[in-house]
Amino acid sequence: MTLTKIGANLSGSANVISVTQSSHGFTVGKVLKSSGSNGTFATAQADSAANAEVVGIVTDSIDTNNFLMTIAGRITVDGVVPDVTAGTVLFLSATSAGDLTSTEPSTTGQISKPVAVVTTADSEMIMVNFRGEVIASSTESWDVNGSELILDVDGDTSLHANTDDQIDVQISGADDFRFTANSFNALSGSTLSIDSGATISNSGTLVGFNHNSFTVTQASHGLTVGKVVKSSGSNGAFATAQANSAANAEVVGIVTVVSGNDITIVTSGEVDIAGAVPDVAASTVVFLDPSNAGDLTATEPSTDGQISKPIGIVTTQNSKMVLLPFRGEILGSGVNNWDVNGLELVLDVDGDTTLHADTDDQIDVKISGADDFRFSANAFNVLSGSTLTIDSGATIANSGTATGFASNSFTNDVTITSGNLVIGTAGGGIDFSAQSSPAAGMASELLDHYEEGTFTPTLIDNSNTGGTYNGQVGRYQRIGNRCFFQLFLRTSNTSGLTGGDQAYITGLPFTSVNVSYAHAAIVAGSYGSLGTGNAMCGDIVANSSKIRLHRVTGSAGALQMTINEWSSDGEAIISGHYEVA
């Protein structure tokens, strides 16, 4: 067999070699690979990685033993370029040896092997001999072979296993967590957080999670394993506890390790140091000893003044016990007093409801963090902002003198020396029904309303159109259902008002009673264009909040007053009163 390179001179820019191979059997367009024997070729196929290692494409079958093979570049040989749209990527066929296809292989185990890109349908393509990609299913392995698997954009968060049988999790450039056989480690400086709503379920053995402890350095401490300790009263120092007084029985924990000046104190949880657990039966409650400082006893203290202070429950004799977070109880006989000595007696769970007597001869009752009631000698006080409520069905019985408790009725006169008489219910008032001899037409004896204020009077026509003004003043006073008022009104212009319409003044503070003929007359003085011998008067008609104006003449009596009879700069001074609806 002979290989001869022809160069870039066949139908444009192509890299072509001449091959002599006995009885090769290839036709134009076949895609070839190395056969595995020196200098010979076979058809390639995308059914395996080995079969898809493409060398070139047959572009001329010269005779039985000779052919030309393009290994790169532009191919324009008839019969080689498929009749597909320009831009189509051609792949090595996975099912037909030596053929090209425009359909990318997609079956697991096949090879996605791009070979060429068509530039002109059926006549030109560019050979792009990329290495193929093995198509894998989700169940196949991806072997990174000790390399780092980069996960984020800036390359500092990764997984790597460059140490055998160990996976390191790197976050922001530092190894934070590590997996090894049957083990997960949060490395120094890292935190393992269990979020709210998450659960840790344990079916094995927890190591290092069975108690809370701390280590302290204390010179010449004199403590041994198993001693029960309290604060010594000096910062960071500890002493043996004893159940002979409340102060001595304020236990911090139990010494479990002593190393020179260093002592480890367990404050809660399980103690599993044999020397710290008494040699008593499982389920025994052990107490702080009132006689021997720092010791435990299975006998509960019982002498007055001693402290019943449970420390733990033995779960395995002489080897394990669980500490109890109980505060001690001061023991006393039935005839002894319990002296809180000015301290606060806390009554509720969150500690803001108490009794305290920190002021001599005074007991304060605190509710929700504030003093609400107080006892002192011969006195009980409801403090400012608090309420003393007598529930329905309860009775206050008085055999002494009640001060400041006015009743619903009075025999003598009542004088309010300060403040106001407040009617607390709408519609209530002063009831005069006890008076004798009411009028025959009496409808009510309740004075139920009083107010005073201002309003804005306005001149209008039949269409409720108003003018412009230089002065508008209205004042009123309502007593019961009677409204007294006075007003001053001066116009600067009446343009926009209809001259022949009835003239009204509107804006009264209340609507009049809706009773036929219950008109209320008004008293008026005016300066306008009424003429000599004429005067202004008016009335408030039923179910209305406006005054209807009239002109009184010497001969014709009261006539309707029109807008024309109110000059542009006219004014009126009016007073009156009417019954309110």
pLDDT tens for residues 192-209? 888 888 887 777 666 555
Same domain for 123 and 158, yes or no, is no
Supply the pLDDT for residue 6.
44
CATH of the domain at 91: 2.40.300
CB–CB of 296/289 below 8 Å?
yes
Same domain for 255 and 290, yes or no, is yes
Burial of residue 57, with CB atoms counted within 10 A of its CB: 0-12 exposed, 13-18 middle, 19 or more buried: buried
Supply the pLDDT for residue 407.
56
Task: Supply the range of the domain harboring residue 278.
Answer: 212-330
Question: Mean pLDDT across the stretch 36-64?
Answer: 95
pLDDT tens for residues 206-240? 655 556 889 999 999 999 999 999 999 999 999 99
User: CA 533, CA 95: separation in Å to the nearest integer?
Assistant: 125
Q: Strands, DSSP E only, in 80-173?
A: 89-92, 100-101, 111-112, 114-120, 124-127, 133-134, 149-150, 158-160, 166-171
Which residue is associated with the tokens 């560019």? 126
Q: Would you call 155 helix, strand, or coil by DSSP?
A: coil
Residues in the chain, total:
581
Same domain for 231 and 264, yes or no, is yes
User: Hey, which residues does 454 pair with through a beta bridge?
Assistant: 475
CB–CB of 524/569 below 8 Å?
no
Q: 544: phi > 0 → left, psi -120 to 50 → alpha, else beta; which?
A: beta
* The dihedral formed by the CA atoms of 56, 57, 60 and 65, expressed in degrees to the nearest 10: 60
Question: Mean pLDDT across the stretch 428-443?
Answer: 87
Is the pLDDT confidence value at 518 over 50? yes
Containing 96, the helix (H) or strand (E) segment is: none
Question: Mean pLDDT across the stretch 100-120?
Answer: 94
Q: Mean pLDDT in the chain?
A: 88
Supply the pLDDT for residue 532.
67
- Judged by average pLDDT, the poorest of 4-13, 114-123, 532-541, 572-581 is 4-13
Confidence of residue 574 (pLDDT cuts 50, 70, 90): very high
Is the pLDDT confidence value at 523 over 60? yes
Q: What tokens does 232 get?
A: 């010594």
Question: Mean pLDDT across the stretch 481-491?
Answer: 96
Same domain for 467 and 543, yes or no, is yes
Same domain for 123 and 19, yes or no, is yes
**Which amino acid is present at 209?**
F
Residue 202 included in any domain: no
The total number of structural domains in the chain stands at 5
Same domain for 177 and 95, yes or no, is no
Residue 435 included in any domain: no
Q: Which has more confidence, 457 or 534? A: 457
- Residue partners of 106: CB distance under 8 A and separation at least 6: 112, 135
Residue 38 included in any domain: yes
Question: Mean pLDDT across the stretch 143-163?
Answer: 86
User: CA 150, CA 229: separation in Å to the nearest integer?
Assistant: 53
Same domain for 170 and 217, yes or no, is no
Confidence of residue 335 (pLDDT cuts 50, 70, 90): very low
**451-465 CB burial, b ≥16 within 10 A, e <16:** eeeebebbbbbeeee
Sign of CA dihedral 381, 385, 391, 392: positive
Supply the pLDDT for residue 9.
38
Q: What are phi and psi of 563, to 5 degrees?
A: -60, -35
Is the pLDDT confidence value at 551 over 60? yes
Is the pLDDT confidence value at 554 over 50? yes
Same domain for 13 and 70, yes or no, is yes
Residue 574 included in any domain: yes
Supply the pLDDT for residue 13.
60
DSSP-assigned letter for residue 466: B
Same domain for 125 and 172, yes or no, is no
Question: Mean pLDDT across the stretch 49-56?
Answer: 94
Task: Decide the pairing of beta strands 285-288 and 149-150.
Answer: unpaired
Is the pLDDT confidence value at 378 over 60? yes
User: CA 300, CA 328: separation in Å to the nearest integer?
Assistant: 11
User: CA 172, CA 579: separation in Å to the nearest integer?
Assistant: 86
Task: Decide the pairing of beta strands 379-382 and 370-376.
Answer: antiparallel
Is the pLDDT confidence value at 463 over 50? yes
- Residue partners of 45: CB distance under 8 A and separation at least 6: 51, 52, 92, 93, 94, 95, 96, 97, 98
Q: What are phi and psi of 350, to 5 degrees?
A: -90, 5
Is the pLDDT confidence value at 303 over 50? yes
CB–CB of 367/353 below 8 Å?
yes
Same domain for 101 and 11, yes or no, is yes
Residue 337 included in any domain: no
Is the pLDDT confidence value at 5 over 50? no
Q: What are phi and psi of 275, to 5 degrees?
A: -70, -15
Residue 389 included in any domain: no
Q: What are phi and psi of 124, to 5 degrees?
A: -150, 140
Same domain for 154 and 123, yes or no, is no
pLDDT tens for residues 121-137? 999 999 988 877 877 66
Same domain for 489 and 529, yes or no, is yes
Is the pLDDT confidence value at 120 over 70? yes
Residue 393 included in any domain: no
Residue 172 included in any domain: yes
User: CA 84, CA 340: separation in Å to the nearest integer?
Assistant: 100
Q: What tokens does 71 get?
A: 């290994």
